[in-house]
Chains A and B, each alone.
Chain A
Amino acid sequence: ILSYPRHPVLKKRDDFEDVLEERRRSSDLRYALRCYTPTLYKGLVPCKVSVLKSIVLQSDHLQCVIKQVSSESGDSTECVAEEASLILDEMAHRMQLSTVRFFVFTLSKAFKRLFRSVCVNEEGIQRLQQAVQEHPVVLLPSHRSYMDFLMMSYLLYMFDLPLPVIAAGMDFMSMKFIGEMLRMSGAFFIRRSFGGDKLYWAVFSEYVKTMLRKGYAPIEFFLEGTRSRTCKSLTPKTGLLNIVMEPFFKGELFDVSLVPVSISYERVLEESLYARELLGVPKPKESTSGLLKARRVLSEDYGSMHVYFGHPVSVRSLAEGKIKRSQYNLLPRYIPQKPSVDTHEFLNDAAFRLVRIQEENMVLKPWVLIATLLLQNPDGMDLSSLTEQTDWLRHLALAFGAFLDWPDHEACSEVISCSLALHRRLLSVSAGHVQLSVTDAPQVETTPEEAVFQRAVVVLSCASYRNQILHVFLRPALLAVAMQSANSSRKDDIYNCFNFLRNMFSNEFILCPGDSVQDFEEACYLLMKRGVLQVLEHEIVMSASGQSTLAFLCSVLDPFLQGYQVVCRYLCEETNENLTEKEFIPAVRSFCFVSLSSDLQKNALAALLRLKAVRKVKV
């Protein structure tokens, strides 16, 4: 199910429909109050929120951990049990239909102001409707904006699907009122880090598993763990994935359906916020007053939004031949067990593949192509050559299987000017020349640092759009760079180079571990089909006409290569012996300010650690 077709280009995708259209025609209030009769899971054991809590607290698993913790800490079991109960109170959702209806009403209003359209693939909804009845469902949306989970619940309500319970970060809880509202619309809250806290982990995992086993509601969480500030998919986390898969591994459920959902925005609401964050301006703390201040957001045009519900992935078929479920036979199932090495590998692999599905089903707007080109031409481009190159790039992207939302019957120049208009905050157009720039420029006196900072904000904002299409070009680009640096046309040499690059960038991009050969072959295939390369038995030869494509692909990876080089140079030249991890990012930033986002720096350091070029010493 998760294996990629050899010819990714032929991938068929569903059509979209705009769900806001209907909203613009009829009353939101009546809509929010309409009769909601969701399709239900066939094995559903209905239970109330309070009953759910007591089931969790009474569970063998939790009781076992409570005893363990009590004997380790010396506290009485009652005391530990009390603590568990408090943790659960802090965590648990309190879903109420009335709150959901309130959200439906306000969100209808908000969405209509923010977006021109919200497009959903209805076939995906139908598949989900089917899946929801058969097995417990886990929804796995991509995470680019706070909007994501609001939109998810909104859509599920709209299509009479059961409302999900959503794993949300604790940060929201600091927003007093909103936090509680979210809780009542199905969010449950988990602390960002609870590494060694056995009791917390037990409460949390048992809570999620209980809801899954009872078929209480679809569970929704973000594989990426947090919003991606760069619009590039983040390396997935496997903790929650393990929790939702375990009931299948242990035979408590026949199967679990994982539904990857790709949510793409023409303009991300948090666009410039993210860029600032990446440059070291701390993330504004989530607060209700902050939210009210952010009302300004409502007055802007964010274009369209696409939500693509992917094919449900059965955990059973995913695990077929990979997980020996009988490994759980010899221990009572309530005793917590760390995932075995095999299981861990499986989880990791599955997580990567699911994120890849998310990536593939992300809708790309024309602006993404334009941003890519503008970033490669820092001095700007003539509108005519921009049009020409965008059209060229569009065909290349389509040939590589991009899910491009390009208006069918419009002239290329028309499409481009529309896109430029929507993103006018990031660029300037004068006399037919397009350039990235700061449009709120008329501030009188800016220090050079501020000017550089402003510019960096624009570049990083723009990069977040380019990043959306990276997964399309990534493999051919790695091959292009490998060919350039291998200095040989022997296939082996090029592959080694490719493999090295792939390895180095595996914190930066979503590259499924162990798929090196497939990725290489896919890249060869795509470029061969494009007439860029000839792949012989032992050699790879560039065709005469392929020069421009290869050059483009190389420059796609260029900023990343340069960034990693800067980090390496910094580590070689500047560093004293005891650089702490905390100091690292500000230090690199001051070493070379321009175009380095903290995200890239972190990834580079992680890669160097992984490749054992840098050693981490515990102090």
Chain B
Amino acid sequence: MASNSSSSAQQRLRIIAGHLQKRPEEENASVAAQECKAEAPRSEPSSATPVPRRRQEIMKWNGWGYSDSRFLFNKKGQAEFTGKRYRLSGLILPSLKDWFEGTFGANLQHRSPATPSLNLSAVAPPHLNQPFVEDLKAAGLSVSHDPEDRVFRAHGHCLHEVFALREGRIGRVPDVVVWPSCHNDVEKIVELACKHNVCLIPYGGGTSVSSALECPREETRSIVSLDTSQMNRILWIDEKNLTAHVEAGIIGQDLERQLNERGYCTGHEPDSMEFSSLGGWVATRASGMKKNIYGNIEDLVVHIKMVTPRGVIEKSCLGPRMSTGPDIHHFILGSEGTLGVVTEVTLKIRPIPEYQKYGSVVFPNFQQGVACLREVARQRCAPASIRLMDNEQFQFGHALKPQVSSIFTSFLDGLKKFYITKFKGFDPHHLCVATLLFEGDRGKVLQHEKQVYDIAAKFGGLAAGEDNGQRGYMLTFVIAYLRDLGMDYYVIGESFETSVPWDRVLDLCRNVKERIVRECKERGVQFPPLSTCRVTQTYDAGACVYFYFAFNYRGLSDPVHIYEQVEHAAREEILANGGSLSHHHGVGKLRKEWMKESVSGVGLGMLKSVKEYVDPQNIFGNGNLL
């Protein structure tokens, strides 16, 4: 017992525990690898994590994000953002109103408020498979058929889903919600589901924008939502190989924070990272903002464990690369919950970078901006993140500038604007902005920064400061909140994305934006829509493009239907212009109709045959993808 090695191990444990002082309750669960239930029952898992079982306690039931954070127009007609969680929280945004009214032709007098609370009688009573529920309970699993729990897990964040909730319309919802707390629990649940023939729909962060969480209308069996949120521990960290083994229910911000506390990060930061889960990333082939350094999810995973109706699928070692036939991880990545539940993932981790720096560049027009990004990609010197907003989005970003505190700053802003538009001759209706994020050693970052700004200068780009850059990135976290504000005033919208070869980026952006405007006009939308895009990722052979599309729906009888028709047309346009069906949102049920066209009949057949072998009873019957 008192041998040298064990005492030094204890010493190390103490030191690590010291690092973790802030979250002592996690010490047990996090540092030691152990069988979950038998040896380390968690005392209060819900207090250890920001995602409680009853999510509705901290999150909106009919909108994006935390209940305490929302945009509103105050009595003076000024926009403000409530709560304390974000940099923008508690601030006044003086120019948002004008932008909002001017862009959408909206009016603060015309409100379209949401139903304040869930009408429980609108929720159909659960269709329970009694023997299954009893077996679950007998196995000691936490189960609920509370209507609020069920409604919360019946949707993602597609426009039509949120719009229906705001109107108080509730469709088919899961009949039961079950919360496994470890891999073994999931095995048990899947086994019972097969035995009793119920439909399982895995639920991670609930941030899907592909109708992936919608209960299939034709499903007659009892539908069980398998909420992975309680499987949220980092099981071990291997500093020699720089890997971490993590339960798949952990959400992005927790994973990152907990790793940070130990001096590490994954670097995987999708825009939804506050809420989306590791398992969800794997199941949709997610992409993170800083993929240029850290890679997308498929580059980050070393090992995946998934429970399927046939049993558990996993590789036998942690080798960094293998030639053992087609990579079985690629059956799992992007399977969108149709094959099983991802329970544990081994991920690459990196030491936290020493230095981080934001930046931004103004270009005279979008063409120049794209040409610059292309050159950056050609030279393979992309910073951790580089994004190019078009002019409309640049103006949108400006509308989100908080009130300036000092006369000096506002004077400086004026001076900058004068310099760019008058002295440099940039047309404020054409100029666009690239936001940058550099990470790494301080010296290297500064060197890297210079290289990128030099390239930008060749394309007429002017450095436009760190502030603009930082605000650009902040925008991605609050934009989803903004949609809720729009919906309070007859404005609906959504974003969608694609990936496309470099030579087609400009044509695709122009054509898709114009198609949106034209489709809206043809469908009787009174005011021209907001139709804007940005290039969010660069690759060797192409880029990822993100579109925002929103319009004022006053006077339209079925705005959601019109929205869907326009988005459909926009997707057709994307495909016709050489864009992909999706870069990272996934297919879900929303984009299923194009799968065959996208991957060929044989390709689809391959995927179907895998599904048939793995899940012949269609237990994982969410109906996504295939």
Q: Do A and B belong to a common assembly?
A: yes
Interface residue B301 (Cβ < 8 Å from any Cβ of A): no
Q: Which of B503, B507, B508, B576 contacts A326 (CB 8 A)?
A: B576
Considering the chains assembled together, what is the distance between the CA atoms of A574 and B514 in angstroms? 63
Quick check: A254 and B514 within 8 Å, CB to CB? yes
Q: State whether the Cβ of A332 lies closer than 8 Å to any Cβ in chain B.
A: yes
Complex: how many Å from CA A254 to CA B519?
13
Q: With contacts A326-B575, A328-B578 known, is A251 near B515, CB below 8 A?
A: no
Closest Cβ of chain A to B119, distance in Å, is 43
Chain B CB within 8 A of A333 CB: yes
The verdict on A237 contacting chain B, using a C-beta distance below 8 Å, is: no
Chain A residues, Cβ within 8 Å of B87 = none
- CB of A311 within 8 Å of the partner chain: no
Number of B interface residues in the complex (CB < 8 A): 13
**Could you mark each residue 293-318 of chain B with 1 if its beta carbon is under 8 Å from any beta carbon of chain A, else 0?**
00000000000000000000000000
- Pick the contact of A329: B507, B515, B578 (CB < 8 A): B578
The answer to whether B503 and A251 touch across the interface, beta carbons within 8 angstroms, is: no
Q: How far is the CA of A324 from the CA of B515 in the complex (A)?
A: 16
Q: Which one of B503, B510, B575, B597 lies within 8 Å of A333 (CB-CB)?
A: B503
Given contacts A251-B504, A251-B508, A332-B503, contact A326 B514 (CB under 8 A): no
Set of chain A residues within 8 Å of B508, measured between Cβ atoms: 251
B503, B507, B511, B576 — most chain A CB neighbours (10 Å): B576
* Residues of chain A within 8 A of B575, CB atoms compared: 326
* Minimum C-beta distance from A245 to chain B (A): 14
Interface string of B498-541 (1 = CB under 8 A from A): 00000110011011001100000000000000000000000000
Q: Which of A487-537 touch B at CB < 8 Å? A: none
Q: B576-620: contact bitstring with A at CB < 8 Å (1 yes, 0 no)?
A: 111000000000000000000100000000000000000000000
Which residues from chain B contact A326 at a C-beta distance below 8 Å?
A: 575-576, 578, 597
List chain B residues, Cβ under 8 A from A342. Answer: none
B515 touches A325 (CB 8 A): no
| Residues B507 and A251 in contact, CB atoms below 8 Å apart | yes
Counting chain B CB atoms within 10 Å of each CB, the highest count among A252, A324, A326, A333 belongs to A326
Residues of A within 8 A of B510 (CB): 254
For B511, list chain A residues within 8 Å (CB): 251, 254
Q: Could you say which residues of chain B place their CB within 8 Å of the CB of A333?
A: 503-504
Report Cα–Cα, A326/B511, bound state, in Å.
14
Does the CB pair A254–B578 fall under 8 Å?
no
Q: In the complex, what residue of chain B is closest to A319 when comparing beta carbons?
A: B576
Q: How far is the CA of A298 from the CA of B510 in the complex (A)?
A: 51
Report the minimum CB–CB distance from A346 to chain B (whole Å).
15
Contact B577 A325 (CB under 8 A): yes
Nearest CB of chain B from residue A42's CB, rounded to whole Å? 11
Q: Once bound together, how far apart are the Cα atoms of A251 and B577, in whole Å? A: 6
Q: Compute how far the CA of A252 lies from the CA of B514 in the bound complex, rounded to whole angstroms.
A: 13
Question: 1/0 per position for A320-336, CB-CB distance to B under 8 A?
Answer: 00001110110011000
Distance, CA A329 to CA B514, complexed state (A): 20
The CB with the most chain B CB atoms within 10 A, among A254, A328, A333, is that of A254
Is B514 touching A251 in the complex (CB atoms < 8 A)? Answer: no
User: Which residues does chain B contribute within 8 Å of A332, judged by CB atoms?
Assistant: 503
Min CB–CB distance A31 → chain B (angstroms): 36
Which residue from chain B places its CB closest to the CB of A255 in the assembled complex? B514
A377 to chain B, nearest CB (A): 54
Question: What is the distance, in angstroms, from A337's C-beta to the closest C-beta of chain B?
Answer: 14
B507 touches A252 (CB 8 A): yes
A52 to chain B, nearest CB (A): 18
| B306 CB, nearest partner CB in chain A, Å | 33
Binary flags per residue of A94-105, CB closer than 8 Å to B gives 1, else 0:
000000000000
Within the complex, the shortest CB–CB distance from B96 to chain A, in Å, comes to: 29
Considering only residues 80-129 of chain A, those with a C-beta below 8 Å from chain B are none
Bound-state Cα–Cα, A251 to B576, Å: 8
Q: Smallest CB-CB separation from A247: which chain B residue?
A: B507
Alpha-carbon separation in the docked complex, A324 to B573 (Å): 11
Q: In the complex, what distance in Å separates the CA atom of A325 from the CA atom of B515?
A: 15
Q: How far is the CA of A254 from the CA of B509 in the complex (A)?
A: 11
> Which residue of chain A has the shortest Cβ distance to B597 in the bound complex?
A326
With a cutoff of 8 Å between Cβ atoms, the chain A residues found around residue B577 in the complex are 251, 325
A244 vs B304: C-alpha distance in the bound complex, in angstroms? 52
Q: Please indicate the chain B residues that have their CB under 8 angstroms from the CB of A329 in the complex.
A: 578
Bound-state Cα–Cα, A251 to B512, Å: 10
Which of B503, B504, B515, B597 makes the CB contact (< 8 A) with A254? B515
| Contact mask for chain A residues 162-188; partner B; CB cutoff 8 A; 1 contact, 0 none | 000000000000000000000000000
Chain B residues whose C-beta falls within 8 Å of the C-beta of A251 in the assembled complex: 504, 507-508, 511, 576-578
CB distance from A120 to the nearest CB of B (A): 30
State A304–B576 Cα separation when bound (angstroms): 47
Question: C-beta contact mask, B196-210 vs A, less than 8 Å → 1, else 0?
Answer: 000000000000000
- Collect the chain B residues with CB atoms within 8 Å of residue A324's CB: 576
Tell me the smallest distance from the CB of B576 to a CB of chain A, in Å: 4
Give the complex CA separation of A333 and B507 in angstroms.
12
**In whole Å, how far is B390's beta carbon from the nearest beta carbon of chain A?**
15
Q: How far is the CB of B233 from chain A (nearest CB, A)?
A: 44
CA distance A252 to B508 in the complex (A): 8
Which residue of chain B lies nearest to A252 when distances are taken between CB atoms in the complex?
B507
Distance in angstroms between the alpha carbons of A441 and B325 in the assembled complex: 93
Provide the bound-state CA to CA distance between A407 and B39, in Å: 104
Chain A residues lying within 8 Å of B576, measured Cβ to Cβ, are 251, 324-326
Interface centre among B503, B504, B597 (most CB of A within 10 A): B504
Residues in B whose Cβ lies below 8 Å from that of A328: 578
Q: B504 to chain A: which residues have CB within 8 Å?
A: 251, 333
CB closest chain-A residue, reference B598: A326
* Closest B residue to A248 using CB positions: B511
Chain A residues near B515 (CB-CB < 8 A): 254
Complex Cα–Cα for A472 and B32 (A):
90
Closest to A250 in B: B507
Contacting A at CB under 8 A, from B483-509, are: 503-504, 507-508
Residues of B within 8 A of A254 (CB): 510-511, 514-515
Chain A 215-273 residues near chain B, CB threshold 8 A: 251-252, 254
Name the interface residues of A328-353: CB closer than 8 Å to any CB of B: 328-329, 332-333
- Which of chain A's residues has its CB closest to B577's CB? A251
User: Separation in Å of the A309 CB from the closest CB of chain B?
Assistant: 23
The digit string for A296-332, where 1 denotes a CB below 8 A from any CB of B, is: 0000000000000000000000000000111011001
Q: In the complex, which residues of chain B have a beta carbon less than 8 angstroms from the beta carbon of A252?
A: 507
**CB nearest neighbor in A for B515:** A254
- In the assembled complex, the CB of B305 is this many whole angstroms from the nearest CB of chain A, namely 37
For the complex, give the distance between the alpha carbons of A332 and B578 in Å: 10
Closest to B508 in A: A251
Choose among A329, A332, A333 the residue with the greatest number of B CB atoms under 10 Å from its CB.
Answer: A329
A333 and B508 CA atoms in complex are apart in Å by: 13
Question: Bound complex: CA of A333 vs CA of B500, how far in Å?
Answer: 13
User: Smallest distance from the beta carbon of B580 to chain A beta carbons, Å?
Assistant: 10
Taken residue by residue from 548 to 589, chain B's Cβ proximity to chain A (1 for < 8 Å, 0 otherwise) reads as 000000000000000000000000000111100000000000
Nearest chain A CB to B568's CB is how many angstroms away? 14
Q: Name the CB-closest residue of A to B579.
A: A329
Tell me the nearest residue of chain A to B511, going by C-beta: A254
Please, which residue of chain A has its CB at the minimum distance from the CB of B514? Answer: A254
A254 and B515 alpha carbons, distance in the complex (Å):
8
Q: How far, in angstroms, from A254 to B576 measured CA to CA in the complex?
A: 11
- Cβ proximity bits B209-239 to A, threshold 8 Å, 1 near / 0 not: 0000000000000000000000000000000
Within the complex, what minimum Cβ distance (angstroms) separates A126 from chain B? 20
CA distance A141 to B504 in the complex (A): 33
Q: Mark B155-171, 1 if CB is under 8 A from A, else 0.
A: 00000000000000000
Q: Tell me the bound Cα distance from A254 to B573 in angstroms.
A: 10
Top 3 A-B residue pairs of the complex, sorted by shortest distance between their CB atoms: A325-B576, A251-B577, A329-B578
11 additional A-B pairs beyond A251-B507, A251-B577, beta carbons within 8 Å, are A251-B504, A251-B511, A252-B507, A254-B510, A254-B515, A324-B576, A325-B576, A328-B578, A332-B503, A333-B503, A333-B504
Task: Give me the interface of A with B, judged by CB distance under 8 Å.
Answer: 251-252, 254, 324-326, 328-329, 332-333
Q: List 8 A-B contacts (CB under 8 A).
A: A251-B508, A252-B507, A254-B514, A324-B576, A326-B576, A326-B597, A332-B503, A333-B503
